[in-house]
């Protein structure tokens, strides 16, 4: 990976819960489009996932499944490097160094995701959950990343990675590249089917999301039951019709139809036909996706991850060497 002249992108997803259409449309499908133009590194961020308790047996399988999701979404293992975060100990090593040298308590206290998650969990919040954005910065900075494609909810974390890199460079000498955040225009924030004011989330109730593993029947039910807005016109208006705007976004991204075309198609009004057709579009997508997912074996994935750890390790080690030198370690 050191010989490539292409700019580097880095991104990751936590191997927990049910990956859903929000993850796919906001992040992973975007990676598949970018992989040709960039040296692409896609991480399964298992150290991020242990900020909350995981069941070991389920977790082991979720890690493999997340790699399968990347592959089924069109990430080409010949173009891009898919690897497991905990295989490369330099991630945690750099996180510790950044904790000490660059990150401040006030930086982390300002993170909106931590505020939301910690309020939801009450007393039982791990130090790791608080510190997670620093580990994320380490992930990104280890590989000289140029750009980080993520959904809208991760923007603040990538900005922190930029700030930590700049601070470190200023205090200890030029070391890190400053990464850019890449957020797609539509789909960066897919909303919940049961509540279009909140993002689609794997920690919400199943009525909130379409999991990438949902059957045609379940998917159909969820879409027909998705909340809609008052009135009956199928028009894209995020402020006044957030539910319909969200469903139109999903429909448009999965079918390749523009929102304008879809508005025209359903101009006669009424949500019934619109939802029925959308359910069909999502079902077709899921069938194709699941066929690809099911064709990949656990063993194949284990071998790929093992092999790829060796591809990324030299760069991670080289960065850590440089950082330690700057600090006198």
Smallest separation (angstroms) from ligand AMP to the CB of 130: 16
Smallest separation (angstroms) from ligand TRP to the CB of 169: 19
- Contact between 14 and ligand TRP by CB under 6 A: the answer reads yes
**Does residue 199 have an active-site annotation?**
yes
Toward ligand TRP, which CB reaches closer, 14 or 246?
Answer: 14
Secondary element (H or E) of residue 48: helix 46-49
Residue 15 binds which of ligand AMP, ligand TRP, none (CB < 5-8 A, kind-dependent): none
108 strand-pairing partners: none
Radius of gyration of the chain (CA): 21
Torsion 44-48-49-50 (CA) sign: positive
**Does residue 6 have an active-site annotation?**
no
**Does residue 202 have an active-site annotation?**
yes
Toward ligand AMP, which CB reaches closer, 81 or 97?
Answer: 81
Smallest separation (angstroms) from ligand TRP to the CB of 146: 12
Smallest separation (angstroms) from ligand AMP to the CB of 261: 23
Exactly one of 45, 63, 278, 312 binds ligand TRP (CB under 6 A); that residue is 45
Q: Which of 161, 156, 159 is nearest to 94 (CA)?
A: 161
Interface residues for ligand TRP in 143-172 (CB under 6 A)? 148, 150, 154, 157
Maximum separation of any 2 CA atoms in the chain, in Å: 71
Residue 148 binds which of ligand AMP, ligand TRP, none (CB < 5-8 A, kind-dependent): ligand TRP
**Cα-Cα end-to-end distance for the chain:** 27
Burial per residue of 185-215, b for 16 or more beta-carbon CB atoms within 10 angstroms, e otherwise = eebbbbbbbbbbeebbbbebeeebbbbbbbe
Q: Which of 255, 247, 250, 253 is nearest to 284 (CA)?
A: 255
Toward ligand AMP, which CB reaches closer, 149 or 168?
Answer: 149
* Residues at the interface with ligand AMP (CB under 6 A): 13-14, 22-23, 26-27, 150-151, 153-154, 188-190, 199-200, 202
Q: Are 212 and 68 spatial neighbours (Cβ–Cβ below 8 Å)? A: no
Q: Are 73 and 28 spatial neighbours (Cβ–Cβ below 8 Å)? A: yes
Reading the block at residue 204, the tokens are 């919400």
Toward ligand TRP, which CB reaches closer, 157 or 162?
Answer: 157
Toward ligand AMP, which CB reaches closer, 27 or 320?
Answer: 27
Q: Of these residues, 155, 177, 202, 292, which one is catalytic?
A: 202
- Binding residues (CB under 6 A) for ligand TRP: these are 10-14, 45, 48, 136, 139-140, 148, 150, 154, 157
């Amino acid at each position: 990976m050191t010989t490539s002249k292409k700019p580097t992108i880095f991104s990751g997803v936590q191997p927990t819960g049910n990956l859903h259409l929000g993850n796919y449309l906001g992040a992973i499908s975007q990676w598949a489009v970018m992989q040709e133009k960039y040296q692409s590194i896609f991480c399964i961020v298992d150290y991020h996932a242990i900020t909350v308790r995981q069941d070991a047996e389920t977790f082991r399988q979720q890690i493999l499944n997340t790699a399968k999701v990347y592959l089924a979404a069109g990430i080409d293992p010949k173009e891009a490097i898919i690897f497991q975060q905990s295989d490369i100990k330099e991630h945690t090593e750099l996180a510790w160094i950044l904790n000490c040298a660059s990150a401040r308590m006030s930086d982390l206290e300002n993170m909106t995701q931590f505020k939301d998650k910690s309020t939801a969990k009450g007393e039982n919040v791990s130090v790791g959950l608080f510190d997670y954005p620093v580990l994320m910065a380490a992930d990104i900075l280890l590989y000289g990343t140029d750009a980080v494609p993520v959904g809208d909810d991760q923007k603040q974390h990538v900005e922190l990675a930029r700030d930590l890199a700049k601070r470190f460079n200023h205090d200890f000498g030029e070391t890190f590249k400053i990464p850019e955040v890449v957020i797609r225009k539509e789909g960066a924030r897919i909303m919940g089917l049961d509540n279009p004011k909140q993002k689609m989330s794997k920690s919400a109730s199943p009525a909130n999301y379409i999991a990438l593993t949902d059957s045609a029947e379940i998917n159909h039910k969820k879409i027909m039951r998705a909340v809609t807005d008052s009135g009956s016109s199928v028009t894209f208006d995020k402020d006044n019709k957030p539910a319909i705007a969200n469903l139109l976004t999903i429909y448009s991204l999965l079918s390749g139809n523009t929102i304008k075309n879809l508005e025209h198609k359903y101009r006669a009004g009424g949500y019934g036909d619109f939802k029925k057709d959308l359910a069909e579009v999502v079902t077709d997508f899921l069938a194709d996706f699941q066929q690809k997912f099911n064709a990949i074996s656990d063993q194949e994935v284990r071998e790929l991850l093992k092999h790829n750890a060796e591809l990324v390790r030299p760069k991670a080690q080289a960065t850590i060497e440089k950082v330690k030198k700057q600090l006198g370690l």
